[in-house]
């Protein structure tokens, strides 16, 4: 029976049959012969995910001083039911990754349909034709429990499989550039032996030309420039590999403006990536305890951070949202710990800060569920069966990437507590982590495994109409700083909800004026790191009491002379009456 791969928009593509492979290779060979004759170098990018698809286009778009293309790129992707659809889409000139950067679709279309420097394929035979192979497959870190990164392991399956295939197919002169974020030591101690062994089996004596240069890509508004116009670090396993990788990167990346850093050994490039991301994860985790301190002592952490940030030495202090997601920060430190023990063979426990930071970040969003429960409780509504709307599914503002987002954990935890969840995100059409939670992300990586009662979340759909989504909810969680959520008007929100609700601000989205207005409208407000909301609530309560006092001392006037806000305050007094 033919198997199919379905694109995110629902288009079905039949997976290639055995007899298709020969024809596909002939197609590639003809194209490569033609491009080589025109002086183009042949580059195969293995793995067309978030990084590989756009890197492939950046390389295909490279040109010499006269504006002529210098590379012909073959993007290669396993023909799995999950990913095969990317190949026919790219071959039409359509980007397989959705992006807020308009340059992504333009560049892919330009390279495929105008410059004819980019195609995609499913056959590993493409590797035989490559001068350079760029490896952009995933290298995951699998956690066995939530909040303990030490209880886990690196999943090198896709990487090792790719390297075995590379060793079997490439010519000895091919440069293999590993861009995947790997456990430090991988290029020399895992990749090199795998490729060397395959070479030996093929009777090739030459040393494999392997190099490492990690990606710093940010899939958002500056997706393309975060690859092309950004600083790179690289290193080769030997002199020849280093020279080749430096030459290649100089030809495809804007190294004139963003100079290359060449390190002595690949383990240094690999370590740079892990330290870079562990540093950021630690900065964010550090603020978690101060966020709790702020909540419990009437402090607004957003104002504290703004006050500190003016000092140039502290300008990278950050407000941690509801959990630190994205593909890289939750896992990269884990790859470091794992490498120390399992690649380099050390038994002692030198890592303290890195795992602690990841553990704090991995569980921070659970606190949002507690705040939501408390806010609802203050309004006399139980969390069980409360209808809650979450604004924002992605891991950071103004992108559609939901990988390991704090929002996912908020949904899972609140569902476990019996709440009914709705979600809105203007950048996300399908939240695959729920819709396909049995198979996505692969290899049982779904965070579902840490929670009970998750079955019904397969039916969770991302609402696109905010006003419709607001109708009838008990609580609203502002989870992501998407631009659409920064200026929401409390009056409009409450009107669309049909009455007062609990509002939980996870990302310093509400200013004091809006917080005050929500209280005046009878809502309850809580926020991560926003201890001062209690003070605003008290001010509103005092104001209401003053109005009541005035009325009782001027009985004959009745309600005359009261503003509409005063009247609202009187009507909505029940919410303010509840103590925290
Ligand atoms: N996404 C980011 O923001 C980001 C940023 C910096 C670095 N990185 C690193 O870049 C690497 C790739 O990340 P990604 O986000 O592109 O991952 P991804 O999961 O989106 O893409 C990996 C792709 O490789 C394909 N693949 C796996 N095995 C293959 C094989 N044998 N042959 C061909 N294709 C194969 C998969 O099907 C998938 O399409 C990771 O190491 C990641 O840590 C990612």
Is the separation of the CB atoms in 558 and 323 below 8 Å? no
The ligand 1 atom nearest the CA atom of 218: 3
**Confidence at residue 548, expressed as pLDDT on a 0 to 100 scale:** 84
Cα distance between residue 532 and residue 510, in whole Å:
12
With contact defined as beta carbons under 8 Å apart, do 322 and 328 qualify? no
CA distances from 364 to 332, 434, 492 (A): 18, 20, 30
Helices of type H across 404-488: 406-416, 432-435, 466-470
Residue pLDDT tens, the chain, 580 long: 789 999 988 999 999 999 999 999 999 999 999 999 999 999 999 999 999 999 999 999 999 999 999 999 999 999 999 899 999 999 999 999 888 899 999 999 999 999 999 999 999 999 999 999 999 999 999 999 999 999 999 999 999 999 999 999 999 999 999 999 999 999 999 999 999 999 999 999 999 999 999 999 988 889 999 999 999 999 999 999 999 999 999 999 999 999 999 999 999 999 999 999 999 999 999 999 999 999 999 999 999 999 999 999 999 999 999 989 899 999 999 999 999 999 999 999 999 999 999 999 999 999 999 999 999 999 999 999 899 999 999 999 988 889 999 999 999 999 999 999 999 999 998 999 999 998 888 767 899 999 999 999 999 999 999 999 999 999 999 999 999 999 999 999 999 999 999 999 999 999 999 999 999 999 999 999 999 999 999 999 999 888 888 887 766 556 667 777 777 777 776 666 555 6
**Rounded CA separation 264/270 (Å):** 11
Q: How far apart, in whole angstroms, are the C-alpha atoms of residue 425 and residue 343? A: 41
Core vs surface per residue 108-129: b (16+ CB within 10 A) or e: bbbbbeeeebbbbbbbbbbbbb
Position 560 scores a pLDDT of 66
134 Cα–ligand 1 center, Å: 11
Pocket test for ligand 1, best of 48, 101, 138 (most atoms within 8 A of CB): 138
C-alpha dihedral (62, 65, 68, 70), degrees to nearest 10: -50
- Quick count: other Cβ atoms within 10 Å of Cβ 546? 12
Helix (H, G, I), strand (E, B) or coil at 419: coil
Measured in Å, residue 472 CA sits from the centre of ligand 1 at: 41
Q: Is the dihedral of CA 425, 426, 427, 433 positive or negative?
A: positive
**Using CA positions, which residue lies closest to atom 33 of ligand 1?**
77
Please tell me the distance between residue 248's alpha carbon and the centre of ligand 1 in angstroms.
21
Q: Which atom of ligand 1 is nearest to the CA of 136?
A: 12
- What is d(CA 388, CA 419) in angstroms, rounded to the nearest whole number? 7
CA of residue 162 to ligand 1 center, whole Å: 12
* Entry pTM: 0.92
393, 402 contact by CB (below 8 A): yes
Distance CA(372)–CA(359), nearest Å, equals: 22
Residue 456 Cα to ligand 1 midpoint, Å, equals 29
Question: What is the predicted pLDDT for the residue at 579?
Answer: 57
Cβ-based burial of 135 (10 A; exposed 0-12, middle 13-18, buried ≥19) = buried
* CA-to-CA separations, 367 to 89, 301, 370, in angstroms, rounded: 41, 16, 5
Top mutation candidate among 44, 52, 394 for ligand 1, by most atoms within 8 Å of CB: 52
Q: Are 414 and 369 in contact (CB under 8 A)?
A: yes
Tell how far the Cα of 139 is from the centroid of ligand 1, in angstroms: 7
Q: Which atom of ligand 1 is nearest to the CA of 216?
A: 6
How far, in Å, are 47, 129, 222, 303 from residue 29 at the CA level?
Answer: 20, 8, 34, 61
Integer Cα distance of 191 and 208 in angstroms: 10
Phi, psi of 102 (to 5 degrees): -60, -20
Q: Are 135 and 178 in contact (CB under 8 A)?
A: yes
Task: State which ligand 1 atom lies nearest to the alpha carbon of 331.
Answer: 43
Secondary structure (H, E, C), 176-193: EEECCCCCCCHHHHHHHH
Distances, alpha carbon 33 to alpha carbons 21, 27, 67, 132, 398, in Å: 18, 10, 21, 16, 42
Mutate to test the pocket of ligand 1, among 89, 213, 215 (most ligand atoms within 8 A of CB): 215
Alpha carbon of 329 to ligand 1 centroid (Å): 15
d(CA 60, CA 110): 9
Query: Which protein residues are within 6 Å of ligand 1, measured from CB?
Result: 46-52, 76-78, 83, 136-139, 158, 161-162, 180-181, 215, 217, 219, 327-328
Interval between CA 46 and ligand 1 midpoint (Å): 9
Which residue's alpha carbon is at the smallest distance from atom 7 of ligand 1? 215
CA of residue 159 to ligand 1 center, whole Å: 9
Q: Report which ligand 1 atom has the smallest distance to the Cα of 97.
A: 20
Ligand 1 geometric centre to CA of 55 (Å): 11
């Amino acid at each position: 029976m033919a198997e199919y791969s379905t694109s995110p928009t629902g288009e079905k593509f039949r997976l290639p049959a055995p007899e298709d492979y020969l024809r596909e290779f002939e197609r590639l060979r003809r194209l490569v012969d033609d491009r080589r004759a025109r002086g183009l170098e042949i580059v195969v990018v293995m793995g067309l995910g978030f990084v590989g698809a756009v890197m492939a286009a950046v390389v295909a778009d490279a040109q010499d001083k006269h504006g002529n293309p210098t590379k012909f790129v073959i993007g290669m992707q396993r023909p799995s039911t999950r990913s095969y659809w990317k190949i026919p889409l790219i071959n039409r000139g359509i980007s397989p990754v959705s992006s807020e950067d308009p340059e992504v679709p333009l560049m892919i279309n330009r390279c495929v349909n105008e410059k004819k420097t980019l195609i995609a394929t499913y056959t590993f035979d493409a590797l035989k034709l490559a001068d350079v192979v760029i490896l952009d497959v995933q290298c995951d870190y699998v956690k066995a429990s939530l909040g303990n990164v030490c209880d886990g392991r690196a999943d090198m399956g896709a990487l090792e499989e790719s390297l075995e295939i590379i060793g079997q197919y490439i010519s000895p002169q091919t440069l293999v550039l590993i861009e995947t974020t790997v456990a430090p030591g991988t290029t020399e101690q895992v990749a090199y032996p795998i490729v060397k062994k395959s070479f030996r089996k093929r009777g090739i004596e030459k040393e494999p030309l392997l190099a490492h240069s990690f990606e710093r890509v940010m899939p958002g508004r500056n997706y393309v420039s975060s690859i092309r116009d950004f600083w790179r670090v690289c290193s080769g396993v030997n002199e020849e590999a280093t020279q080749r990788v430096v030459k290649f990167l100089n030809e495809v990346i804007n190294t004139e403006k963003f100079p290359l850093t060449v390190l002595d050994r690949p383990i240094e490039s690999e370590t740079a990536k892990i330290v870079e991301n562990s540093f950021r994860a630690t900065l964010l985790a550090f603020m978690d305890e101060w966020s709790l301190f702020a909540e419990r002592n009437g402090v607004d952490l957003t104002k504290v951070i703004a006050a500190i940030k003016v000092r140039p030495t502290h300008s990278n202090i950050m407000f941690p949202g509801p959990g630190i997601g994205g593909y890289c920060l939750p896992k990269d430190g884990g790859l470091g710990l794992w490498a120390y023990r399992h690649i380099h063979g050390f038994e002692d426990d030198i890592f303290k800060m890195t795992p602690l930071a990841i553990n704090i970040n991995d569980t921070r969003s659970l606190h949002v569920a507690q705040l939501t429960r408390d806010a609802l409780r203050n309004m006399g509504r139980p969390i069980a069966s409360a209808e809650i709307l979450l604004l924002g599914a992605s891991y950071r503002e103004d992108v559609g990437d939901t990988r390991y987002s704090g929002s996912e954990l908020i949904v899972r935890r609140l569902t476990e507590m019996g709440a009914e969840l709705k979600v809105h995100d203007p950048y996300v059409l399908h939240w695959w982590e729920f819709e396909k939670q049995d198979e996505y992300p692969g290899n049982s990586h779904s965070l579902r495994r840490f929670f009970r009662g998750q079955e019904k979340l397969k039916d969770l759909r991302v609402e696109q109409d905010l006003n419709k989504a607001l109708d009838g909810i008990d609580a609203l969680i502002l989870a992501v700083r998407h631009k659409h959520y920064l200026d929401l008007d409390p009056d409009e929100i409450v009107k669309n909800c049909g009455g007062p609700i609990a509002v939980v601000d996870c990302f310093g989205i509400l200013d004091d004026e809006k917080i005050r207005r929500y209280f005046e409208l009878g809502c309850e407000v809580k926020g991560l790191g926003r201890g001062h909301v209690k003070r605003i609530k008290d001010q509103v309560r005092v104001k209401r009491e003053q109005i009541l006092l005035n009325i009782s001392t001027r009985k004959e006037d009745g309600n005359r002379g009261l503003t509409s806000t005063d009247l609202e305050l009187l009507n909505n007094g029940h919410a303010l009456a509840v103590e925290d």
